[in-house]
Structures are given as C-alpha cells and as structure tokens.
Amino acid sequence: MNDKENKLNQHTPVLAMNSINKSFGGLRALIEADLELYSDEILAIVGDNGAGKSTLIKVLTGVYRADSGSIRINGELSDIPTRQQSIDAGIAAVYQNLGLVDTLPAPHNVFLGDEPIKKIMGIPFIDNKKMRKAAIEILRDRVGVEFPDIDEPTRNFSGGQRQAVAIARAVHSTDLKVLVMDEPTAALGPEETKNTLQLIKAVKERGTPIILISHNLDHVFQVADRVQVMRGGKNVGVVNVADTTQQAVLGMIVGSETSAVA
C-alpha cells in the first residue's frame, strides 16, 4: 500500500453510499451502486452516457428518491435524503448552467436567497456591507480567487470567474461537507477550462472534498485523486489516478478490461 492509499484508508469517509438501487419503470438505472468520498480528495465519476452517474448524484442531492440503499455522512447513518435533508447535511451541487443572476454582482449571487439582514428602525434590509465582506472572504479562503471588480454584474465576468461565484455560493454555508460538480467544463473554451480545473483543485486544497462527474479523462487525470467507473448502473471499479492510465480507465468504461491498475 502506498502512502496515499494509507492516508485515504486511515479515516472514515465523509460520505458513503451503499447498495443504492433506483429504477425508472422497468429500467434499472442504479444497481447496488456504491460511492465513498474522503475528506481530502477529488473523486471523479466516469462512465458512458446512461451509466448512472447523474442518477447516483441526484439520489445524493435528494432530487431522486432511491428504491433502496443507505447513505452515511461522517460515519452516521442518514435516511435516503429529501432535497432539504441533503442541503442540511452539507451537500451542495453546481450544475452546468450555474444558476447565476447575471444582472447582480458576485456578493448578491453568492448569498442569493440567504442574504444577511440588518434592521433599521425595525425594518429588514439586506446588509450589503456585511454581504460584500463575507463574499470576498469566501471567494478568497474557500475558493482561492480574488476579483478586482467584485461589484460588477456577473454577466461581465469570464466563464471561469462565473464558475467561481457559483462554487462560492455552494460553499457559503460553513458546514459544507461535499461539493458535487456535474460536467463543469463541458461548455467552456480551453482557457476557461484551465481556470476551472485550477479552481476545483483550489477548493479541495481549502478543505472541501469534491465529486467531479466528467466525460473528459484528460481533465479527470489532471485534478482527481481517485476515479470511480460506472457501467450499466453499477460501480465497476475505483482506482487511484496515480496507479492507472487513461487507456486502462477507458477499458473499464467500455467493459473490455476488468482491472485498471497499471
């Protein structure tokens, strides 16, 4: 066992999904699917179209309700969560469309729907000063970016900067335990892809473990610590990036290899 495996195996996973089953009518989208995420890692999930990646994540975020299975967060057994229970458990997801309000500046987007409030003569107002300061701190300390123009509407930001704002929104709750990113680089050009991959690493280095769904093995091999391969609704293997090759992982994706360890 190498040092990295040792480190990864030493502690309880932040998140463990076990024997998750989910059918849509007669279609078995997930069959006894598992997932383990440790506190100091980026876990990539790869697999062909329809392999079950998004369904597994949607069970985690409470968008879909699993037919059976269990989820443990920090070793404690949770119910298969509803949407709200998942949010309360500190699980946040950033989807491809980011969901920003383009006409608003970054601080408003980071705190959208959850703005700090101050009362003046008993009347509640958004505390803009507090919100701006908190947004700057989150962007710097949890996401690793500093914007010279934080008060600009986010429509003037680059794709990478917008991604940072969306991540900051996801991590703004202090007890965030898991960040999920489903295909974050799918719609980006080369420069913005590079920035986004750096951003993902920076978020991990600042203490948030990440589940990254991606079809791009180049990107996966640049940022992930481990790769979970799904096929036909099953988890067909998990490998350390350091111990494998893209070709071997591709073999697992299409089912021509049983082991991806080089």
**Site for ligand ATP, rule CB under 6 A:** 24, 27, 29, 47, 49-55
Nearer to Mg ion by Cβ, of 134 and 180: the residue is 180
Q: How far is the CB of 253 from Mg ion (least distance, A)?
A: 14
Q: How far is the CB of 236 from Mg ion (least distance, A)?
A: 17
d(CA 3, CA 91): 28
Nearer to ligand ATP by Cβ, of 80 and 106: the residue is 80
Q: How far is the CB of 214 from Mg ion (least distance, A)?
A: 10
Q: How far is the CB of 103 from Mg ion (least distance, A)?
A: 30
Nearer to ligand ATP by Cβ, of 165 and 178: the residue is 178
Nearer to Mg ion by Cβ, of 15 and 46: the residue is 46
Distances (CA, A) of 153 to 88, 161, 162: 29, 12, 10
Residue 234 CA, chain-centre distance (Å), reads 20
CB 94 within 8 A of CB 170: yes
Q: How far is the CB of 113 from Mg ion (least distance, A)?
A: 26
Cα angle value 125/129/135 (rounded, 5°): 110
Q: How far is the CB of 98 from Mg ion (least distance, A)?
A: 16
Lookup result for tokens 């968008």: 63
Residues at the interface with Mg ion (CB under 5 A): 54
| Contact partner, 85, from Mg ion, ligand ATP, none, Cβ < 5-8 Å per class | none
Cα angle value 166/12/248 (rounded, 5°): 70
CB 128 within 8 A of CB 149: no
| Contact partner, 123, from ligand ATP, Mg ion, none, Cβ < 5-8 Å per class | none
| Contact partner, 24, from Mg ion, ligand ATP, none, Cβ < 5-8 Å per class | ligand ATP
d(CA 146, CA 168): 12
| Contact partner, 125, from ligand ATP, Mg ion, none, Cβ < 5-8 Å per class | none
Strands 226-231 and 91-94: unpaired
Nearer to ligand ATP by Cβ, of 47 and 160: the residue is 47
d(CA 180, CA 253): 21
| Contact partner, 22, from ligand ATP, Mg ion, none, Cβ < 5-8 Å per class | none
CB 217 within 8 A of CB 20: no
Q: How far is the CB of 55 from Mg ion (least distance, A)?
A: 8
d(CA 119, CA 15): 39
Nearer to Mg ion by Cβ, of 50 and 251: the residue is 50
Residue 167 CA, chain-centre distance (Å), reads 9
Nearer to Mg ion by Cβ, of 21 and 54: the residue is 54
Hey, what amino acid is at 172? H
| Contact partner, 10, from Mg ion, ligand ATP, none, Cβ < 5-8 Å per class | none
